[in-house]
Structure 1
């Protein structure tokens, strides 16, 4: 198997993710749960604070774990990628800093022209290259035909600041004002991670993301000025649209897609990594059945599509809860979160907590 990767190596940028349901089940079948448990972050709560850093409400993270029946790991994206990379078999070859420039196929094979001028041949091409997939563009058409912009931009980076680290006091904290949210949380070795989400009608990503972050969040207090001071210190800042990919078909002959390339649910729905792992497992399961390629890929799509559509719809419904557009919405959210601290109050979050419990690999 040959894997082509546009990056120069394993990537550390990105933010914390929840590995649950499908992703957890796949990791368990791979036998890497112990390795992932060793690098997880045992988050107990997420605090929502005001611009003075005062707690206004909190999310009890154990509620998520209970709804997931313990099948939940909080990981940095880079840690998950590293453990998956370590688990690869020796017959997998990875070539970095390459993209695909052209795809040609016949009844029995597919040929790709690579950015270094070489050509490779195989029985199947799987595009697992994210929401801005080059394989999808070559095989199915322009991104604008499939990308559903949800009205937000997001960013994230990892930095070091002893003063900010102390002020977090070991807790994941969010500051939310109308249409803007910033989260900051401590990592190992004195590092910190932050993420930004803000509403904007402008779909296009800015040319200068550092200036865009300072302009959008520069008027806020708490630790925000200190965080923004590190924009120029870090080498890599993740920045993108918050969007979903909606496609009627994921397969063209011997080309198919997996993960965000065809089924992006967005950070509003979460579970992107878990669903990508689940989708890859379903595809591999169908390929192992050794049937006609057209039938195999059709079964993969039919298995995944209903669950993806459900997760995408749930994400769109959760937008106002996760990133409130007004002070009224923020107040209502805080009241609901406080109510969960009382007996029976957890039912208020049931629609959100239950939306990620289904596993696409169950029964396979």
Structure 2
């Protein structure tokens, strides 16, 4: 079977791995010019960790694990308000890694026959019933048995198959940002802890990544539907510029827009994840929000579930896609509901 997968993030890479392992002809297209950067730390746990275990990737992820022993909350002046010790997850069924490191691991273990084409995306498609013709952004046309949209919360494939994003996006009323920079002195000063500072309506954090890098996390409340800024760096300085602790230093070290993750905190809710020979996986159909800490794990679980149903379907793609959704969607809906509550508690309310 020929499969075009759109999006070389965690979901797309995992789908490509499973389908390549099963002997399918996989083309993975990605609009970015190359692999993504470090991004932010994520926890691979629960169903996601189980999927990683079945892929045999735990040793590779453990080599890149980010190990933080404490969570420290500061007031705006930098004083320590609370300190929590991480005693480790029950059963050790979790590993924390940077998003870019997880993507690198998945990329490096793809089947030899898998083609990865950067600077390329899906421009359009035509479903002929017995196959799908996928027009790429370079004008070429790929004929496939299945098109998989793994291109994130702002999915182009989803828009082509189901319509405009605003029909399916639940804006939770936050903007969030993350970036990484080199700074050995600051990394050393952070120790092996995640440090957070909050004030009415916003929260900022920093943690070390190895001995020389510092990763950041910013989240602040906005009215639902607030447009994303054209210049994320300027927006971060506007929102957080009057805060204390080490936030001014973090803002000074903010890189250019291409190296900053900045997006709204939102979820995607679709009545169905598939249409004909087109299906979605990961944030394209099941986004839970960055603050939930569940997205990467469920993307990995979703990729495995899709491959398993295609394997079990014996060539009946329609039946396989129904089985994939029936198998995973109840879990996703439950996790999305839980994430909405967690997001509300994550960032302090605005001052009255």
Question: What TM-score do the two structures reach when normalised by structure 2?
Answer: 0.89
- In structure 1, runs of 5+ residues without a counterpart are 329-364
3-state DSSP class of the match of 2:291?
Answer: coil
Report if the CA contact (8 A) 1:13-1:236 is conserved: no
1:60 and 2:63 correspond? no
Quote the offset at 1:189 in angstroms: 4.3
Quote the offset at 1:267 in angstroms: 1.8
Alignment-derived partner of residue 11 in structure 1:
36
Quote the offset at 1:232 in angstroms: 4.6
Report if the CA contact (8 A) 1:23-1:277 is conserved: yes
Distance 1:281 1:58, change over 3 A: same
State the number of aligned residues: 325
3-state DSSP class of the match of 2:73?
Answer: strand
Alignment-derived partner of residue 37 in structure 1:
62
Once residues 278 and 257 of structure 2 are traced to their aligned partners in structure 1, the CA distance between those partners, rounded to angstroms, is 37
Alignment-derived partner of residue 323 in structure 1:
347
Once residues 327 and 187 of structure 1 are traced to their aligned partners in structure 2, the CA distance between those partners, rounded to angstroms, is 33
Q: Which moved more, 1:74-83 or 1:314-323?
A: 314-323
Deviation string for 1:195-227 (max 9, x for gaps)?
110000152101111110000000011111111
2:280 to 239, 248, 257: 257
Deviation string for 1:253-303 (max 9, x for gaps)?
000000000000012322111100100100000000115211110111111
Report if the CA contact (8 A) 1:47-1:59 is conserved: yes
Report if the CA contact (8 A) 1:159-1:234 is conserved: no
Quote the offset at 1:320 in angstroms: 3.0
Report if the CA contact (8 A) 1:16-1:77 is conserved: yes
Root-mean-square deviation (Å): 1.6
Distance 1:182 1:131, change over 3 A: same
1:228 to 251, 254, 260: 251
3-state DSSP class of the match of 1:312?
Answer: helix
Alignment-derived partner of residue 150 in structure 2:
128
Report if the CA contact (8 A) 1:269-1:315 is conserved: yes
3-state DSSP class of the match of 2:321?
Answer: helix
Report if the CA contact (8 A) 1:13-1:156 is conserved: no
Q: Which moved more, 1:226-235 or 1:250-259?
A: 226-235
Give every structure 1 segment of 4 or more consecutive aligned residues whose post-TM-superposition deviation is greater than 6 Å. none
3-state DSSP class of the match of 1:247?
Answer: coil
Alignment-derived partner of residue 28 in structure 1:
53
Q: 1:303-322 maps to which residues of 2 (within 5 A)?
A: 303-322=327-346
Quote the offset at 1:233 in angstroms: 6.0
Deviation string for 1:49-92 (max 9, x for gaps)?
112322212343335x02xx211111000010001111111121
Q: Which moved more, 1:293-302 or 1:225-234?
A: 225-234
Alignment-derived partner of residue 345 in structure 1:
none
Quote the offset at 1:324 in angstroms: 2.0
1:90 to 88, 112, 116: 112
1:70 to 75, 87, 92: 92
3-state DSSP class of the match of 2:334?
Answer: helix
Quote the offset at 1:234 in angstroms: 7.6
3-state DSSP class of the match of 1:286?
Answer: helix
Q: Which moved more, 1:143-152 or 1:188-197?
A: 188-197
1:199 and 2:221 correspond? yes
